[in-house]
Amino acid sequence: MKISIDRLPQNHKGLILLPFEESESLRYPTDFQKLKISSVLFSGKKDTQFLLEDSASERTYLLIGLGKNPDYKTIQTAFRRLTAKQSRLFEKGALLAIQEEMKDSFLEAAVSGLYLGTYRLGHFKKTEEPKLDWENVSLRISSSFEDAEKIAERASKIANAQLQVFNLVDLPSNTVTPEYLSDWARNAGKTFGFEVKVLGRAEAKEQHLDAFLAVSQGSHREPQFIIAQYNPENPKKHIGLVGKGVTFDTGGLNIKTAGMVHMKCDMGGAAAVLGAMQAIADLKLPVKVTAIVPCVENSVDNQAFLPSDVIGSYAGKTIEIIDTDAEGRLILADGLSYLIKNHQPDSVIDLATLTGSTVGTFGYECAALFTNDIDLSQNLQKSGESIGERVWPLPLWDVYQPEIESEIADLKNYHGKPFAGAIVAAKFLEAFTENHGSWAHIDIAGTAFGDSEFAKTKHATGFGMHLLLNLLEKI
């Protein structure tokens, strides 16, 4: 969309978007005081709309109800709904009128929502239905904020990164292969300004990334160990990110028996980290960021790793394989070890669609957070709460340590018991953090991919990208 600030909104013709919080007596923007709608017809209740066409002034007013004290996610979703479901209204552009008492975060949420609503799942559909050219749609903003243009530009950059996450997660696994992700990272690095290095199978073998390689050995697709670095001048801190990039997960020889059609989403952590790198560089944050994104396909053939195998790892620890479907923690283990040993970040955060146990605990509303850093935990919770990407802590108590102890190796990758699955997986990862004092693991299994009003099938949510960005902006 082409965004501009309109200081004379009373002259606008066409679609005018008027958002309201719920009230018995609605307060209309200064330039639209003459527009009065009965509270019986519209009072600003959440998820309500009122459309009024004034042919004399050549205006169409769309009143948008947000309810009482709407949060960021409510506002974003309300505006996403407009471009997703009422796109024809935008053919001649639109004016968004923000009232004086609304916060600047309101404008950001509204603009990002309008951008997110332009996303469509039909990547491979052949259709004769005309599509709106969203890049050329005019969006004028009427606001008293002095930095309204800056807020709107920031919102568009955040949304563009989230749209990339949607694409990466929703595209099929024969499109989004490990090499596709490495190519995407290289292209994004050139466009937005961060460096990218990729280790293929041979280079990974030289580096002794043995756990990473074990997961990939059943697939003909080349594994890719992506190393991305954003280096601004005079950075405040150095943050390390790791994202799980299993582009398709059959479960390996412990093959999945249900829900495999959705396993293209098992690279949701990788997508969130890569999207965050785009947004971080695009917004030029004053924070150094190193991201490790190990990308593999966990498939089945006569070369696939076996239950009972003992494999190595970059950290030098040996791992007994109890279940080949507990593969994500293996590639994350090498990613964490490599990041901490070679780049020494001040804080480390990994994101992964790791365990069904997390879904059993939190459902689809919240991600599980594990960390040994109280300040980092609180900052992540606050950052997520403010944008509707909630995380909540679970314990890393040493009482769970015996669950990953092996008789034959240093560790085992799965305890095989019907309890504490997310916690045991986190304890496994902790063993590869080299006792780093500020590490957080976020299990996004229930939040990266799901159902919503915007599609008929499960699809990407983009969860994690904005969370990371919000956190780094507050450092």
Contact 458, 449 (CB under 8 A): yes
Residue 266 DSSP one-character state: G
Bin 422: left if φ > 0, else alpha if -120 < ψ < 50, else beta: alpha
Q: Report the candidate in 385, 465, 461 with the shortest Cα–Cα distance to residue 161.
A: 465
- 6, 87, 144, 420 from 15: Cα distances, Å: 14, 11, 20, 52
| DSSP of 232-251 | -SS-S-EEEEEE-EEEEE--
Burial class for 28, CB neighbours closer than 10 Å (0-12, 13-18, 19+): middle
Three-state DSSP at 84 gives helix
Q: 141 - beta bridge partners?
A: 5, 96
Q: Among this protein's residues, is 88 annotated catalytic? A: no
- Interatomic CA distance for residues 385 and 72, integer angstroms: 9
Q: 51 - beta bridge partners?
A: 62
- 259, 368, 396, 457 from 360: Cα distances, Å: 15, 11, 18, 21
Query: For the chain, how far is it from start to end, CA to CA, in angstroms?
Result: 31
- Interatomic CA distance for residues 73 and 386, integer angstroms: 8
Q: Report the candidate in 467, 212, 241 with the shortest Cα–Cα distance to residue 345.
A: 241
Residue from 46, 256, 317, 458 carrying the catalytic annotation? 256
Give phi and psi for 323, each to the nearest 5. Answer: -145, 125
Token digits of residue 170? 């929703």
Which residue is listed with tokens 């801190």? Answer: 237
Q: Among this protein's residues, is 329 annotated catalytic? A: yes
Three-state DSSP at 252 gives coil
Q: Which amino acid is at 418?
A: P
Residue from 329, 390, 412, 427 carrying the catalytic annotation? 329
Rounded to the nearest 10 degrees, how much is the dihedral formed by the CA atoms of 317, 244, 298, 167? Answer: -170
Contacts of 358 (CB under 8 A, 6+ apart): 367, 368, 421, 422, 443, 444, 445, 446
Token digits of residue 1? 């969309």
List, by residue number, the catalytic residues.
256, 329
